[in-house]
């Protein structure tokens, strides 16, 4: 059985006002970093998260860099991050000259393990970045408690988790700051783009200043310090606003697809399991993830290549930071992250998957696993 068309892992769906708004930018000449779509996208995004402020920016990586800069993080400082994440989380810390201190993830949510944070806190620790991995929220209550006790800031890297909820609270509104990505494969997209949410007025002002080259707000073209050009364009925001107007649909499609996978696959727990949804969580299902059991003798990469031959695109779970050259720390402490990352992969989670495609993907996945026991 060979699929005629390759089934992609992810693809943007631009089925609302995106086209209309982009054409409006072109017709009016408002294509750069000022314009009504930037303002409206930011206002609507703040409403969506329930925060006072939302600041658009160039991508989800600089969305992490700006709050770290605004908190004054620099040389000699330490920031706690999960080792199991996308590299942008660690890189943003490195850009400040600070050191990312790695913590293992936990079974269940796959997020940072709150029980392993305190042992990593030193006098140099300034903050914690949690990552809502693949759209599943981190267990935030214990993290916020530790942060309060040690006077640390908390940034939620919600790049993959638009609309996910922790105990009824939308992610990005729980810590001091939330950050989002609108890269092409994320839950909603602007091509490249990012957003920062916060209810801290002072911090928001500081980030706005740094985002625009630190130009003095009271004296045009006067600069008291080194800033950055991390702005989003009106063109990107036009796409973003169109996407955001439809975010319930985008979120609903992902929950529908996840439910369809669970229905078809949960009976095969001797072959593999899916990333679970914890009782306190509303998973945003940026990606549905499969974890192969030890009973499957083929390697993760072999199963993925069999699926590739069937025309099904998959993707390995992230390699942990402690395995990669820039952040290698020689420790073998990260057993949970290692176990998950080496045996897991993502299966197609694009919003337009049909029942037929879902049947086909599940059928092939089960077939290859059963053939390799
Ligand atoms: C995608 C992503 C980012 C960075 O976003 P970009 O827009 O690609 O810069 C940061 N953190 C996580 C967890 C991500 O998945």
Q: What 3 state SS string does the chain have?
A: CCCCCCECCCCCCCCCCHHHHHHHHHHHCCCCCCCHHHHHHHHHHHHHHCCCEEEEECCCCHHHHHHHHHCCCCCCCEEEEECCCCHHHHHHHHHCCCEEEEECECCCCCCECHHHCHHHCCCCEEEEEEECHHHCCCCHHHHHHHHHHHCCEEEEECCCCCCCEECCEECCCCCCEEEEECECCCCCCCECCEEEEECCHHHHHHHHHHHECCECCCCCCCECCCCCECCCCHHHHHHHHHHHHCHHHHHHHHHHHHHHHHHHHHHHCCCEEECCCCCCEECCCCCEEEEECCCCCCCHHHHHHHHHHCCECCEECCCCHHHCHHHCCCCCCCHHHHHHHHHEEEECCCCCCCHHHHHHHHHHHHHHHHCCC
pLDDT of residue 344: 98
Structural tokens at position 243: 């996407």
pLDDT < 70 stretches in the chain? 1-4
Query: What spacing in Å lies between the alpha carbon of 235 and ligand 1's midpoint?
Result: 20
| Ligand 1 atom with minimal separation from the 64 CA | 10
pLDDT digits (tens, 9 = 90+) for 256-274: 999 999 999 999 999 999 9
Cα separation, 334 vs 320, in Å, equals 9
pLDDT of residue 329: 86
pLDDT of residue 4: 59
Query: What spacing in Å lies between the alpha carbon of 27 and ligand 1's midpoint?
Result: 32
Using a 6 Å CB cutoff, which residues line ligand 1? 59-61, 85-86, 88-89, 131, 157, 159-160, 181, 183, 194
pTM for the full predicted model: 0.97
Query: What spacing in Å lies between the alpha carbon of 85 and ligand 1's midpoint?
Result: 9
For the chain, which domains are there?
18-245 (3.40.640.10), 247-370 (3.90.1150.10)
pLDDT of residue 49: 98
Site to probe by mutation for ligand 1, drawn from 56, 158, 159, 232 as the one with most ligand atoms within 8 Å of Cβ, is: 159
Cα separation, 176 vs 215, in Å, equals 25
Q: Is the dihedral of CA 337, 338, 344, 345 positive or negative?
A: positive
Query: What spacing in Å lies between the alpha carbon of 56 and ligand 1's midpoint?
Result: 14
pLDDT of residue 2: 52
Query: What spacing in Å lies between the alpha carbon of 296 and ligand 1's midpoint?
Result: 31
pLDDT digits (tens, 9 = 90+) for 195-217: 999 999 999 999 999 999 999 99
């Amino acid at each position: 059985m060979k699929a005629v068309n390759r089934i992609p892992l992810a693809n943007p769906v631009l089925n609302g006002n995106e086209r209309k708004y982009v054409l409006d930018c072109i017709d009016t000449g408002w294509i750069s970093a000022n314009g009504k779509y930037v303002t409206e996208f930011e206002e609507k995004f703040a409403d969506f998260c329930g925060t006072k402020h939302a600041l658009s920016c160039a991508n989800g990586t600089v969305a992490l860099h700006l709050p770290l800069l605004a908190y004054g993080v620099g040389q000699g400082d330490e920031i706690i991050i999960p080792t199991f994440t996308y590299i942008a989380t660690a890189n943003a810390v490195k850009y400040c000259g600070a050191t990312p201190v790695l913590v293992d993830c936990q079974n269940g949510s796959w997020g940072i393990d709150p029980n392993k944070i305190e042992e990593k806190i030193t006098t140099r620790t300034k903050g914690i970045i949690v990552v809502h991995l693949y759209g599943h929220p981190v267990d935030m209550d214990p993290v916020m408690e530790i942060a309060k006790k040690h006077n640390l800031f908390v940034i939620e890297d919600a790049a993959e988790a638009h609309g996910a909820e922790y105990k009824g609270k939308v992610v990005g509104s729980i810590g001091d700051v939330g950050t989002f990505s609108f890269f092409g494969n994320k839950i909603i997209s602007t091509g490249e783009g990012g957003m920062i949410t916060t209810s801290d007025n002072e911090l928001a002002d500081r980030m706005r200043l740094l985002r625009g080259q630190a130009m003095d707000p009271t004296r045009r073209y006067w600069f008291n310090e080194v800033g950055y050009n991390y702005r989003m364009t009106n063109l990107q925001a036009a796409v973003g606003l169109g996407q955001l107007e439809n975010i319930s649909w985008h979120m609903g499609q992902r929950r529908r697809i996840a439910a369809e996978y669970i229905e078809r696959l949960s009976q095969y727990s001797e072959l593999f399991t899916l990333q679970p949804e914890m009782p306190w969580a509303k998973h945003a299902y940026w990606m549905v993830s499969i974890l192969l059991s030890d009973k499957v003798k083929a390697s993760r990469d072999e199963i993925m290549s069999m699926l590739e031959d069937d025309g099904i695109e998959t993707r390995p779970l992230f390699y942990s930071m402690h395995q990669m050259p820039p952040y290698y720390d020689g420790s073998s402490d990260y057993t949970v992250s290692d176990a998950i990352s080496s045996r897991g992969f993502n299966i197609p989670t694009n919003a337009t998957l049909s029942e037929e495609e879902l049947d086909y993907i599940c059928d092939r996945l089960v077939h290859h696993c059963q053939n390799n026991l």
